[in-house]
Amino acid sequence: MATRPSASSAADNLDLELRRGVVVLAVLSQLQTEQYGYSLKKALTDRGLEIDEGTLYPLLRRLESQGLLQSDWRMAEARPRRYYVISPEGRRVYETLSANWRALTRVIDELVQPVEVTDGTPGSV
Amino acid sequence: MEPQDLFERYLHAVGEQLPRRLREDVKAELRSLLTDMLEDRARQAERAPDMDLAVAVLREFGEPEAVAARYRPPAYLIGPELYPIFSLVIKIVLAVMTGFGALTVALALWRSEAPLAELGRTLWELGIQGAGLALMNLGLLVLIFAGLQRWGARDSADAPEAWNPLELPAVEDRDRVDRGSLISTLCFNLVLIVVLNFFPSLVAVFYLHDGTWGRFPLLAPEFLADQLPWFTAAWALEAGLYLAVLWRRRWTALTRWAEFGLSVLTGVVLGRALMGGEILIPAILTVFAKGVMVILLAVNVAEAIGQIYHLIGRFFAAPPAPLSPSHR
């Protein structure tokens, strides 16, 4: 018999899924100018979006293989670094995703308005 | 050991688990990222990069297996698209094997004249052979489906666009009782039991000779003595089962298992009659009757396989949800 995950672990998993959905948009937004992997992670963290290395770096490669990013190796501070930047195709996708995101957040904001409970009766507001 | 040496060990461990075509590229990128992280941590700690910082960086990065897994494309032995078909085929194969296995055991029990200890050994050997055969078939199926997954699985993006929801099959409620079918079979069985056991002379060719009726019995005395009691038992048990089902108004797991057991018994009875002596007289009619029995036996085996297939499915299925009003 399958064991049901605890409420907190279910919340953690759902939070992870939620973030996974928006991380592509966040990455594309920060790669309008070229960055190497660690500088991108720092940029996202500095703006309040924590993404673990295990998610971010494989994602960069996947987006590159999908043609949304371009990369090249370059010598910087006496060692090679891979720099990523959004491609023309990635820019088009980014514009579409940004518009969808703005529309989606408007709808979701409406949906997740806090419900005011007045008398404790189930269903009452 | 220097931090870079530790990083090289880590990169080697990650690289070992990556496809060869990705390996060097991913390792080069990870090397660069780890060095960036280490330098950043050293800057924050206001000291030179050392082993403690390198260990902390690697811990944060994660175990080599987990890191490599994130870089690998998803790989399945049998993926989610093929798994439902794989599961269906496994159930069919198990049902066929169980059906034939049950018939084999029943026939072995029937024909065996060996003492009980000898019989136990035979059954044990049959069980071992059956288990070996089942494992071999399962392994073969896994190989076939793994091959399909690797070389032939259809991309979900290629799904046909001409799919028509109106062609969906109606939902079948297998446990609903078909009263008409059960009652007619029950009556037919009772008629057979009564006529063949109490009035066997009615099964005859009637002829008019010199103004008087005569008859030529068709049932061979050998059949009436040796086979009919077994047919009678099978028909009576079937009638009893159908009565129970009609009384309960619904098939249950227990009655479905009883139905499967009856199918096995019917198979044994038919097999016994096929291997036995005359059924009808003259002998040419016995050939015809045995031909019909072969067809009946084949239908019976197919039915038994279908029954065990559904019973296995029922065994693994979740408890049924309450029926919607349209299904009541």
- Which residues of B fall within a CB distance of 8 Å from A39? 36
Of A38, A52, A54, the CB nearest to B36: A38
Going from the C-alpha of B281 to that of each of B3, B93, B269, B272, the distances in angstroms are 97, 41, 20, 18
In the DSSP assignment, the letter for residue B164 is: -
The fold of the A19-110 domain, in CATH, is: Arc Repressor Mutant, subunit A (1.10.10)
B175 burial (CB, 10 Å; 0-12 / 13-18 / 19+) is middle
- Which residues of A fall within a CB distance of 8 Å from B62? 52-54
Nearest chain B Cα to A74, which residue? B32
CB of A34 closer than 8 Å to CB of A88: no
Non-local (6+) Cβ contacts of A68 within 8 A are A28, A86, A87, A89, A90, A93, A94
Q: Do B32 and A36 touch (CB under 8 A)?
A: yes
> Residue A89: its pLDDT value, please?
96
Of B28, B40, B71, the CB nearest to A58: B71
pLDDT, tens digit only, all 125 positions of chain A: 455 667 778 888 888 888 888 999 999 999 999 999 999 999 999 999 988 888 899 999 999 999 999 999 988 777 889 999 999 999 999 999 999 999 999 999 999 987 665 555 544 43
Q: Do B33 and A38 touch (CB under 8 A)?
A: yes
| Rounded Cα gap, residues A27 and A94, in angstroms | 10
Of B29, B40, B66, the CB nearest to A57: B29
In the DSSP assignment, the letter for residue B201 is: G
A79-86 sheet: strands from edge to edge: A35-36, A79-86, A69-76
Of A37, A54, A57, the CB nearest to B66: A54
CB of A85 closer than 8 Å to CB of A40: no
How many CB atoms are closer than 10 A to CB A63? 22
| Rounded Cα gap, residues B227 and B2, in angstroms | 89
Residue A61 contacts B where some CB pair is shorter than 8 Å: yes
CB of B296 closer than 8 Å to CB of B242: no
Q: Which residue has the tokens 């068709």?
A: B218
- Which residues of B fall within a CB distance of 8 Å from A81? 32, 36
B322 burial (CB, 10 Å; 0-12 / 13-18 / 19+) is exposed
> Residue B63: its pLDDT value, please?
92
Q: What would the two tokens of residue B87 be?
A: 């599961």
> Residue A123: its pLDDT value, please?
43
Residue A57 contacts B where some CB pair is shorter than 8 Å: yes
> Residue B216: its pLDDT value, please?
84
Give how far B33 is from chain A: nearest CA, Å. Answer: 6
- Which residues of B fall within a CB distance of 8 Å from A73? 28
Give how far A42 is from chain B: nearest CA, Å. Answer: 10
β strands within B166-303, DSSP E: 204-209, 212-217
Peptide bond into B319 cis (omega under 30): no
- Which residues of B fall within a CB distance of 8 Å from A36? 32, 36
Of B26, B37, B71, the CB nearest to A38: B37
Nearest chain A Cα to B61, which residue? A53
- Which residues of A fall within a CB distance of 8 Å from B58? none
| Rounded Cα gap, residues B191 and B99, in angstroms | 29
Q: Which residue has the tokens 């200890």?
A: B117
pLDDT, tens digit only, all 328 positions of chain B: 888 999 999 999 999 999 998 899 999 999 999 999 999 999 999 999 999 999 999 999 899 999 999 998 777 888 888 898 888 888 888 887 887 777 777 766 666 666 666 777 777 887 888 888 888 888 988 998 888 888 875 555 555 567 788 888 788 788 888 888 889 888 899 989 998 998 888 888 877 777 777 778 889 999 999 899 999 999 999 999 999 999 888 899 899 999 999 999 999 999 888 888 899 888 888 888 999 999 999 999 989 988 988 888 877 776 655 555 444 4
Give how far B19 is from chain A: nearest CA, Å. Answer: 14
> Residue B113: its pLDDT value, please?
63
B39 burial (CB, 10 Å; 0-12 / 13-18 / 19+) is middle
| Rounded Cα gap, residues A33 and B316, in angstroms | 55
ipTM score: 0.77
Name the nearest CA neighbour of B86 among B78, B94, B97.
B78
HEC-encoded secondary structure of A34-84: CEEHHHHHHHHHHCCCCCCHHHHHHHHHHHHHCCCEEEEEEEECCEEEEEE
Reduced to 3 states (helix: H, G, I; strand: E, B; else coil), residue B225 is helix
Give the residue extent of every domain in chain A. 19-110
Q: Do B40 and A57 touch (CB under 8 A)?
A: no
Cα dihedral sign, B107-B109-B112-B118: positive
CB of B280 closer than 8 Å to CB of B288: yes
Residue A96, amino acid = T
| DSSP assignment string, A82-96 | EEEEE-HHHHHHHHH
> Residue B282: its pLDDT value, please?
82
Nearest chain A Cα to B66, which residue? A54
Residue A29 contacts B where some CB pair is shorter than 8 Å: no
> Residue B261: its pLDDT value, please?
93
> Residue B320: its pLDDT value, please?
58
Of A36, A39, A58, the CB nearest to B70: A58
Of B29, B40, B60, the CB nearest to A37: B29
**Four-CA torsion B55, B57, B58, B59, nearest 10 degrees:** 80
